[in-house]
Amino acid sequence: MSAVRSATPSGPNGGGTAYLDALFSLEQQPGRSSLVVEGTLRTRGLLQILYQSHRIVFDLDDRGEIVRVLRIYHGSRRELRQRDVPR
């Protein structure tokens, strides 16, 4: 995430920084998430956080130290399918 943070514009004209703050918060608090609602993806242990009208879907490595963001999309879209989320 540090590479993304350093390449992200900041300040009032940076655009989208609050959105990225939600992503960066996963570094310190990945446990504040919930399991995805889709049963087939829930069995994979996929997690989600909601930010405004978006869902950020991610997983954690076996030790819970690495967050891998798999998908960010608008919450009003249809449910996720297996093919929507990389393995």
For residue range 58-71, what is the model confidence (pLDDT) as tens digits?
888 888 788 888 88
- 3-state SS, one letter per residue, for 28-58: HCHHHCEECCCHHHHCCCCEEEEECCEEEEE
Give the three-state DSSP class for 12. Answer: coil
Fold assignment, 2-84: YaeB-like fold (3.30.2310)
Reply yes or no on whether the pLDDT at 57 is more than 60: yes
Amino acid 14 reads G
- C-alpha distances (whole Å) from 15 to each of 6, 56, 62 are 14, 18, 34
Does this model's pTM top 0.85? My answer is no
The pLDDT value recorded for residue 7 is: 42
